[in-house]
Amino acid sequence: MDIEQHKIPQATAKRLPLYYRFINNLHSQGKQRVSSKELSEAVKVDSATIRRDFSYFGALGKKGYGYNVEYLLSFFRKTLDQDEITKVALIGVGNLGTAFLHYNFMKNNNTKIEYAFDTNAEKIGTEIGGVPVKHIDDLEDIVKGDITAAILTVPSSAAQGITDRLVKSGVSGILNFTPARITVPDHIRVHHIDLSIELQALVYFLKHYPLEENTEQEE
Amino acid sequence: MDIEQHKIPQATAKRLPLYYRFINNLHSQGKQRVSSKELSEAVKVDSATIRRDFSYFGALGKKGYGYNVEYLLSFFRKTLDQDEITKVALIGVGNLGTAFLHYNFMKNNNTKIEYAFDTNAEKIGTEIGGVPVKHIDDLEDIVKGDITAAILTVPSSAAQGITDRLVKSGVSGILNFTPARITVPDHIRVHHIDLSIELQALVYFLKHYPLEENTEQEE
DNA sequence: GGATGATTGTGAAAAACTTAACGACTATCT
DNA sequence: AGATAGTCGTTAAGTTTTTCACAATCATCC
Ligand SMILES: NC(=O)c1ccc[n+]([C@@H]2O[C@H](COP(=O)([O-])OP(=O)(O)OC[C@H]3O[C@@H](n4cnc5c(N)ncnc54)[C@H](O)[C@@H]3O)[C@@H](O)[C@H]2O)c1
Ligand SMILES: NC(=O)c1ccc[n+]([C@@H]2O[C@H](COP(=O)([O-])OP(=O)(O)OC[C@H]3O[C@@H](n4cnc5c(N)ncnc54)[C@H](O)[C@@H]3O)[C@@H](O)[C@H]2O)c1
């Protein structure tokens, strides 16, 4: 439909789901209007950044008024494709994978884990959090064409092998929780979430970037 | 010791643990030297960025040669404070919290979850993954002074309350996995890892930022 | 021992992102 | 109706991060 939606900066795109969630919250609370300043305090993003982000989509608000919550919500729902369900597969039903299966991503996010895959015979055939666990041998047959993205929670030694199979099966995005930096063709998108690194980075910041003790009162 | 280490860009700091891990791998494999190009292919970061990142710490390499793995490793170990253990607490032993407790963050990351906390009577007094689970009422007493950072995996409704107590207990960093955007004093650092948002953002990118189908052969 | 090829460290440019500031406009109150 | 306080969208400035490109240097081979 709209081919040239390409002008939205990546940094903005990453914040859209966050905005969407809070607009949803406001709507549930029956709020009619909201200002960038209010939103800013809730999501901890500078209000100028929020206005700038919104402005990439045109004039969503009214000067002197703010944004209409109802309108904003329906706009973001459309923009984030929340009217159609995105089907996802999860590979590796271990500690982390099981936790994700128990979580309902549909709550505020029209994404559904349709199938899980593992090698462990004890798990195959069961349902966890309503998601059927299949044998990894059936990956290609089940995924083929039907599944948009995959969540990867296998041991890192298996990561590249499974990735290659996912790519062959037509998945176009992978959310990789393993420490392995996987290699994919150019047309496949991979987001890495590396929990060890996140923890280590936090610790590094604590030791090397001491924050100012605030003498003023925080509002 | 070195007060003015402040010149390292945040983007660089976030990559340091990643470099550290791969240098560790190389060292285990018995590799003696490595070039920024090689490292680049492994960690999927542009080689110029790697050289720039390293250069903030002085001249770690040799022109025409590359980097000595042994030296690099010992340098990063020092820089990332890997010689001392950083103590961490985990709050909320549910799906996600339990998965983390079963994971050994110490493997390549000198960070240890010392205590876990929950309200659930069945869990209190047990050990999960070698970590004792304590009652949340004892949070202040146990954490006080001893714990540097906290991992927050409670329901989002409890997030702000627990955060306030963590801050009072002297924690200086929080890794927040709840969808709540928590408020803290200026001297406390919070990193948010919001899994729903990561998934939703991936899906958004897939639909709106189609990647080039590569006609060239990938190396 | 000189030629060759590899690789760093960095100055300079480019790109990406954030923030400040303000004119234009709105709602609301008296 | 006019004054007031609030708010957006955007221009411009500032900041951070990435990338290019190359002189300087080193290892190695013949
Ligand atoms: N658990 C954590 O807190 C944590 C933290 C950081 C990183 N990680 C990473 O996340 C990944 C998963 O961690 P985990 O703790 O859940 O591990 P885990 O061992 O509990 O789970 C791995 C699962 O993958 C399955 N598996 C193994 N090989 C497979 C294959 N070829 N195909 C399909 N399934 C296969 C196993 O049967 C197992 O159920 C690992 O790469 C780990 O490094 C986990
Ligand atoms: N599980 C997932 O895959 C997933 C995905 C995205 C986000 N999250 C978020 O992570 C958080 C944890 O998710 P979960 O699935 O593990 O939830 P969960 O309900 O399984 O676990 C929450 C745990 O916190 C404990 N708890 C509740 N109130 C507490 C309090 N005041 N003090 C201490 N402990 C308390 C509960 O007893 C429970 O054990 C939630 O905020 C959730 O939104 C989880």
| Whole-angstrom distance, CA of residue A104 vs CA of residue A112 | 8
Q: What is the mean pLDDT of residues B76-104?
A: 95
DSSP string for B142-162 = HHTTT--EEEE-S-HHHHHHH
Domain that holds residue B125: 86-198
Q: Is there an atom of ligand 2 within 6 Å of B133 CB?
A: no
> Are B124 and B95 found together in one domain?
yes
Chain A contact probe: residue of B128, B203, B206, B208 with most A CBs at under 10 A: B203
| Whole-angstrom distance, CA of residue A203 vs CA of residue A206 | 5
Q: What is the mean pLDDT of residues B76-92?
A: 94
Closest-CA residue to A201 (of B15, B103, B189, B170): B15
| Whole-angstrom distance, CA of residue A134 vs CA of residue A81 | 28
Write the DSSP symbol of residue B102. T
Q: Is residue B1 situated within a structural domain?
A: no
Residues lining ligand 1, CB < 6 A? A 91-97, 117-120, 136, 153-156, 158, 162, 177-179, 195-196; B 99-100, 102-103
Q: Tell me what the pLDDT averaged over chain B comes to.
A: 92
Phi, psi of B197 (to 5 degrees): -70, -40
- Beta-carbon pairs below 8 A across chains A and B: 191
What's the pLDDT at A120? 97
Q: Is residue B22 situated within a structural domain?
A: yes
> Are A183 and A119 found together in one domain?
yes
**Structure confidence at residue B145 as a pLDDT band (50, 70, 90):** confident
Q: Report in angstroms the alpha-carbon separations of B175 from A97, A145, B97.
A: 20, 37, 12
Q: What is the mean pLDDT of residues B161-174?
A: 97
User: B27, B49, B79 — which closes off a domain?
Assistant: B79
> Are B73 and B93 found together in one domain?
no
- Cβ-based contacts of B197 with chain A (< 8 Å): 14, 17-18, 21
The count of domains in chain B is: 2
> Are A38 and A91 found together in one domain?
no
Closest-CA residue to A208 (of A200, A216, A218, A198): A200
What's the pLDDT at B219? 32
> Are A93 and A193 found together in one domain?
yes
Q: Is residue A216 situated within a structural domain?
A: no
Phi, psi of A122 (to 5 degrees): -65, -30
> Are B74 and B161 found together in one domain?
no
Q: Is residue B213 situated within a structural domain?
A: no
Q: Is residue B214 situated within a structural domain?
A: no
> Are A141 and A50 found together in one domain?
no
> Are B117 and B159 found together in one domain?
yes
> Are A73 and A101 found together in one domain?
no
> Are A160 and A194 found together in one domain?
yes
Q: Is residue B203 situated within a structural domain?
A: no
**Structure confidence at residue B2 as a pLDDT band (50, 70, 90):** very low
Report if CB A55 to strand D is under 7 Å.
yes
pLDDT at B144 over 90: yes
Q: Is-above-0.75 flag for pTM?
A: yes
DSSP H stretches of helix in chain B: 10-28, 36-43, 47-55, 69-79, 95-101, 139-143, 156-168, 195-208
CATH of the domain at B129: 3.40.50.720
What's the pLDDT at B1? 42
Low-confidence stretches of chain A (pLDDT beneath 50)? 1-3, 214-219
Say yes or no: A95 contacts chain B, CB-CB below 8 A: yes
What's the pLDDT at B7? 82
